[in-house]
Amino acid sequence: MNRKSINRAVIAIFVFGLVGCSQKTAIQFTRPAEIDVGGIKRIAIMDFRGPENSGSNAAAVFASKLFETGFYTIVERSELQKILEEHALSLSGVVDPETAVQAGNVLGVQGVIVGDVISYRCEDRRGREQETRQVWTGEYEKDQNGNDIYEKNLFGKKVKKKKYKDEIVNVEVLTREANVSLGFRLIEVETGQVIASREASHSYQKKLKGGESSPLSDEVVGQILSSLFKKEGGDKLPPKDEILIDLGLRCINDFVRALAPHQETAYAEFAGGGGEVDKGILFAKNGLWDKAQQVWQQVVEKNPGNHAAWYNLGLALEAQGAYLEAQEAYDRAVSLSSKKLYIKGLKRIRERLEDERRLKEQLQKQNQAEQQPAEEEF
């Protein structure tokens, strides 16, 4: 295959990839908190128990991420420390319901979060592994008559076909493994009860292989392996601190999703139908959902039996947050055709409607909790 043929093949694959994925779209939506904590609005987050500074760092990141959601009022860390010290308490000393209630009353909060760093490790392991490699025998392939077999190389030049054999070799391997596991408990100050808890764990493993092993000293082998950390332009192992921070952040994000409403992305597929239906798809793919909706609305008005237009209309309404209207459109599409794509859309919108119901309930409880102190004071 010559260079021009290779280029044409690459272009064809690229264009095919674009066409293959062009009928999909991403839809943003808000999912309610996984755990309903009732009317808990003002929260204090204490230092987690853990080695070195891992506990205080986890609590600080948790507080920051939870504050960003806007769903809770979080007592600032500096304010926490100051108030607790005035009452002979400390951030790291609040570890159970009894001390949490005591601290919560002092801080004037409705809930106190305590937690533990269950695992916080990153280790390197050195070893050897066997792998099979193709090795040239120094000979060339021949046909039944003993004649050399030829093939074309990447540049289209005719060359003798080399004869290879499998050979098992020992290679030096460096494996970096890490794990961070965190757990939290949200304690209601009024009752002293744990009303929410969750554990999260994330791991990392990456393996780098060096060259074939040889009877070298451990010192020399160690130097070879350590160079794998500094490989330029290729695979390399990230620093241990970087890995641990990333794993810890993943755990914290799991906690935030458990306690607060959060944005998620659903991926859906358009239904092609030619003509005006595809025109609407073009608008939608450019983010012009209102224009796409108008096009598909006109199509179904002219041809109420066009199931593809009804489905895409549901998609447009879903993307704009009009879930009830979207459900009606999906229902029409499914009644006209029982395609898996349409059924999937109807199922998805019913899930969104349930999410919306739960979200409204959670927001209502939060608003009531926010107004309660003012009413009591009045």
**Cα R_g (the chain), whole angstroms:** 31
pLDDT for 346 equals 97
* Rounded to 5°, angle at Cα 255 from 249 and 259: 145
pLDDT for 88 equals 74
Per-residue pLDDT of the chain (378 residues; tens, 9 = 90+): 444 443 443 333 333 333 334 488 999 999 999 999 988 999 999 999 999 889 999 999 999 999 999 999 999 988 888 888 777 776 666 777 888 888 899 899 999 999 999 999 999 988 888 888 888 888 888 888 889 888 988 888 888 898 888 888 888 888 999 999 999 999 999 999 999 999 999 999 998 877 655 544 455 445 545 554 554 445 578 899 999 999 999 999 999 999 999 999 999 999 998 999 999 999 999 999 999 999 999 999 999 999 999 999 999 999 999 999 999 999 999 999 999 999 999 999 999 999 999 999 999 988 887 776 533 433
Q: How far is CA 209 from CA 226, 233, 235, in A?
A: 11, 15, 10
pLDDT for 329 equals 98
Please choose, from the candidates 47, 156, 51, the residue with its C-alpha nearest in 3D space to the C-alpha of residue 112.
47
Distance CA 42, CA 129 (A): 55
Contacts of residue 271, Cβ cutoff 8 Å, sequence gap at least 6: 277, 307, 308, 311, 312, 333, 339, 341, 342
pTM over 0.85: no
Ordered domains of the chain (ranges, CATH): 120-179+194-238 (no CATH), 272-372 (1.25.40.10)
In the numeric block, which tokens belong to residue 361?
């309930």
pLDDT for 303 equals 96
Bridge partners, residue 61, by sequence? none
CB atoms within 10 A of CB 148: 11
Return the SS3 of 26: strand
What phi and psi values does residue 301 have, to the nearest 5 degrees? -70, -40
In the numeric block, which tokens belong to residue 53?
């500074």
| Four-residue CA torsion sign, 315, 319, 321, 322 | negative
* Rounded to 5°, angle at Cα 119 from 118 and 125: 165
Strands 73-74 and 42-45: parallel
Contact 224, 172 (CB under 8 A): yes
pLDDT for 208 equals 84
